[in-house]
Amino acid sequence: MVCRRFKSSCRYRNKRKREKLKTRKLNNKYKSRKIREESCKKFVLNLSSRLLTNEEYLLLGKGMKFIPTPKVSSTYIRKQIMKDFLELARKLRCRFHYSTNTIKEIHPLYLQTGHIPPNGNNALEGYITDTKLEISRLKVKQFKHNLTLAERTAFNYLIKDDSIYISKADKNNTTVVVNTLDYINAGTNHLNSDHYKKINHTNTELIARSISKIVNKLFTNKEIDEHTYNFLSDCKNPKHGYMYLLPKIHKIRQDSLEAIKLDGYKIGELAVPFRPIINKCNSPTRRIEKFLDLILKPLLRKLEFYIQDTKDFINRIESKTCVRNCTLIAYDVTSMYTNMNIDNLLDTTKNFLDQIDRTKYKFKVPNKSDLISFAKIILENNEFQFNGTLYKQVIGAPQGGIKRAPSKNKTFK
271-322 per-position pLDDT tens digit: 788 999 998 888 999 999 999 999 988 888 888 778 888 888 888 888 878 7
Q: Are residues 232 and 132 in the same domain?
A: no
Are the C-beta atoms of residues 253 and 226 closer than 8 Å to each other?
A: no
Q: Are residues 113 and 189 in the same domain?
A: no
Residue 111 CA to its chain's centroid (Å):
21
Classify residue 379: in a domain, yes or no: yes
Instruction: In whole angstroms, give the CA distance from residue 215 to residue 120.
Output: 38
The predicted pLDDT at position 179 comes to 92
Instruction: In whole angstroms, give the CA distance from residue 242 to residue 279.
Output: 5
Are the C-beta atoms of residues 392 and 331 closer than 8 Å to each other?
A: no
Are the C-beta atoms of residues 291 and 109 closer than 8 Å to each other?
A: yes
Classify residue 228: in a domain, yes or no: yes
Classify residue 323: in a domain, yes or no: yes
The predicted pLDDT at position 237 comes to 84
Q: Are residues 131 and 264 in the same domain?
A: no
Q: Are residues 329 and 269 in the same domain?
A: yes
The predicted pLDDT at position 28 comes to 60
Q: Are residues 354 and 264 in the same domain?
A: yes
Half-sphere exposure of 155 (CA within 13 A, CB side): 18
Instruction: In whole angstroms, give the CA distance from residue 329 to residue 397.
Output: 26
Classify residue 38: in a domain, yes or no: no
Classify residue 153: in a domain, yes or no: no
The predicted pLDDT at position 409 comes to 39
Are the C-beta atoms of residues 66 and 154 closer than 8 Å to each other?
A: no
Q: Are residues 329 and 379 in the same domain?
A: yes
Compute the CA torsion angle 45, 50, 56, 57 (nearest 10 deg): 30
Instruction: In whole angstroms, give the CA distance from residue 364 to residue 109.
Output: 11
Q: Is 173 helix (H, G, I), strand (E, B) or coil?
A: coil
* The 274-279 sheet, strands edge to edge: 196-198, 389-393, 383-386, 241-247, 274-279
Compute the CA torsion angle 5, 6, 9, 13 (nearest 10 deg): -170
Are the C-beta atoms of residues 292 and 375 closer than 8 Å to each other?
A: yes
CA max distance for the chain: 108
- What type of residue is 200? N
The predicted pLDDT at position 214 comes to 94
Residue in 288, 278, 236 with CA at minimum distance from that of residue 384: 278
Domain holding 90, by residue range, is 74-136
Looking at the structure of the chain, the number of domains it has is 2
Residue in 178, 185, 169, 158 with CA at minimum distance from that of residue 260: 178
Instruction: In whole angstroms, give the CA distance from residue 120 to residue 106.
Output: 24
Q: Is 76 helix (H, G, I), strand (E, B) or coil?
A: helix
Instruction: In whole angstroms, give the CA distance from residue 409 to residue 411.
Output: 7
Q: Are residues 324 and 240 in the same domain?
A: yes
The predicted pLDDT at position 251 comes to 82
Q: Are residues 104 and 240 in the same domain?
A: no
Q: Are residues 222 and 99 in the same domain?
A: no
Q: Are residues 131 and 184 in the same domain?
A: no
Which residues make Cβ contacts (< 8 Å) with residue 367, sequence separation at least 6? Answer: 223
Q: Are residues 376 and 296 in the same domain?
A: yes
Classify residue 224: in a domain, yes or no: yes
Cross-strand bridge partners of residue 177? 46, 166
Are the C-beta atoms of residues 341 and 195 closer than 8 Å to each other?
A: no
Classify residue 271: in a domain, yes or no: yes
- The DSSP call for residue 384 is E
Residue ranges, the chain, pLDDT below 50: 1-2, 401-413
Q: Are residues 81 and 220 in the same domain?
A: no
Residue in 395, 392, 367, 396 with CA at minimum distance from that of residue 381: 392
Classify residue 316: in a domain, yes or no: yes
